[in-house]
Amino acid sequence: MKADTVKAEEATARTRAASVSRQRVVAGLALIVLAVAAIEFPLVFSSPVVTNYAIYALIFVAAVSAWNLFSGFSGYISLGHAVFFGSGAYTVGIAARDWHINGVAVFALLPLAAAVGAVIAVPFGLVALRVRRHTFIVITIAVFFIFQLMAYNFSFTGGSVGVSAPFLPWSPTSFNDHFYYITLACAAGTIVIAFLIRRARFGLQLRAIRDDEDRARGLGVHAMRVKLSAFVLSGTITALVGGVWFLYLTQVQPPSGFDPLFDLSLVLMAFLGGLGTIAGPVLGALIIEPGQLYLTIKYTNGYLSEILLGVLFLVIVLFVPRGLVPTAGEWIRRLRTRGRPASGTVSPATSAPPAPPEASEAPAREARTT
């Protein structure tokens, strides 16, 4: 009797392992196809108009993934990431201006932008991460405004005029193609980093903090250290992306570098895709950024586009509250397990690994519902 049960369990486990590795092969293949497609993209769609959309989309893929790396994983919603974005942009601009750097050499300034992002993130994080929830959100907003205003007030930032990027004398197509590959690299790199963090203990610690920080602390998680590390990493990447954006747009000014609506866009994109997932922010950015640019061109008259945008957000939040990726995952799983009995024959000791947190959104604790 016992032997039979053990054999049955082993068989189930083998089937499950086989199906999981099959999934992994399929997914791996899909990723390879994706990578090839991404690299071939500008060659297929060579019009600068198309690559322009792609570049802005990729800039936001990187920015949202970086934001999600911190806010999505830890649950601390930051509305101050524009601080890093703008600081990265200004760093590249000011360095290029003061050190008289022209031509392709400006790209060498990007690591400097990232470093500045890291340097700003440390005190910013130390101050802000001591408080929670709404207070945290408002502190990030306050620091954001402080930075925007400093950009206006200091003369080394160019005041209200801002800073211009050195002129790169490339043809429209090659200019866009260069930036396409740079932004693609940034986006891919950020996704990989997010993926690695998720797998690591670090990611687990972040998620523990998101679920219940006090309990996590009680279990030995150094909350401040973990939060701060994620925050600094997130800020560093965002600053780098800001530098790239600056070189592409060729200009940064206080209201564009430190745009109050930038962070809300990040929240929306991450949310649309699925907060805390890897693919979610990517999907959200790829849909919303080009979509927004395109809709403004298409519905160019009147304020209709603004109203439509608001309605769209409402629809997204009210009808896809968990984000597209988890919701799609749910559907796929439902489709695949349709008709199959629940796995009641398996004993708890060898039961399937628990469904990942982002798929089962059951809150770990009582949540406010008004």
Partner 1 sequence: MRPHLPWFSKNGLALSAAAVLSAGLVAACSSSSSSSTAATSASTSASSSPSTKAPIVIGASLSLTGDFSADGQAFERGYQLWASDVNAHGGLLGRQVTLKILNDNSSPTQVQTNYETLFAQDKVDLAFGPFSSLLTTPSASVAARYGFALVEGAGGAPSVFESPANMSDHNVFDVSLPIEDEMLPFVSWIASMPASQRPKTAAYPMADDPFADPPVQLAQQQLQALGVKTVYSKIFPAEVASYKPAADQVAATGAQVVVLGSTDVPTVAAFIQAFQQQHYNPKMFICAAGPDQGAAFTSAVGKPNATGMMVPNGWYPGYANAASQAMVQAYVTKYGGSPSDVNADVAEGYSVGQVMAQAVTATGGTDNAKIISYLHSGVTLSSVQGPVKFDSLGKNSAAAAFTFQWQDNGTTFKQVLPVSAAGSVAIINPKPNWTS
Partner 2 sequence: MAREIYQAIVDGVLVGGVYALMAVGLTLIFGVLDIINIAQGVLVILGAYLSYVLSTRLHIDLFVGLLVTVPAMFVIGVIIQWAFIRRLRGRERTSMTLLVTYAVALIIEGILYEIFGPNPKQLNASYVQSSVRIFGFYLSDIYLYGFALAVLMVVAIYLLLYRTTFGRSVRATMQDETAARLVGIDVNRVAALTFGVGVAVTAAGGMMFGATNSFNPNSGYDLISRLLAIVILGGLGSIGGALAASVFMLTVESLVDIWSPEWAIVVFFAALVIVLVIRPTGFFGRQPVRAQ
* Residues within the interface to partner 2 (CB under 8 A): 75, 77, 79, 127, 130-135, 137-139, 141-143, 145-146, 149-150, 152-153, 210, 212-214, 260, 264, 267-268, 270-271, 275, 302-307, 309-314, 316-318, 321-322, 361, 363-364, 366-370
Residue 146, interface with partner 1 (CB under 8 A)? no
Query: Binding partner 1 by CB under 8 A: which of 3, 297, 318, 335?
Result: 297
Residue 99, interface with partner 1 (CB under 8 A)? no
C-alpha to C-alpha distance for 237 and 231, rounded to whole angstroms: 10
Least separation, in Å, of the C-beta of 23 and partner 1? 4
Of partner 1, partner 2, none, which one sits near residue 348, judging by CB under 5 to 8 A according to partner kind? none
CB hemisphere CA count around 254 (13 angstroms):
18
Count of positions on this chain that bind partner 1 (CB under 8 A): 82
When the beta carbons of 99 and 303 are compared against partner 2, the nearer one is 303
Residue 325, interface with partner 1 (CB under 8 A)? yes
Residue 335, interface with partner 1 (CB under 8 A)? no
Of partner 2, partner 1, none, which one sits near residue 338, judging by CB under 5 to 8 A according to partner kind? none
Query: Binding partner 1 by CB under 8 A: which of 296, 343, 347, 360?
Result: 296
Contacts of 301 (CB under 8 A, 6+ apart): none
Residue 303, interface with partner 1 (CB under 8 A)? yes
Residue 348, interface with partner 1 (CB under 8 A)? no
Least separation, in Å, of the C-beta of 364 and partner 2? 8
Question: Which pair of tokens denotes residue 137?
Answer: 């959100």
Which 149-208 residues touch partner 1, going by CB under 8 A?
Answer: 149, 152-153, 158-162, 164-167, 169-172, 175, 191, 195, 199
Least separation, in Å, of the C-beta of 135 and partner 2? 6
Which 223-252 residues touch partner 1, going by CB under 8 A?
Answer: 249-251
C-alpha to C-alpha distance for 106 and 235, rounded to whole angstroms: 21
When the beta carbons of 15 and 135 are compared against partner 2, the nearer one is 135
Least separation, in Å, of the C-beta of 336 and partner 2? 25
Residue 308, interface with partner 1 (CB under 8 A)? no
Question: Which pair of tokens denotes residue 21?
Answer: 């590795």
Residue 291, interface with partner 1 (CB under 8 A)? yes
Residue 253, interface with partner 1 (CB under 8 A)? yes
| Residues 216/76, Cβ–Cβ less than 8 Å | no
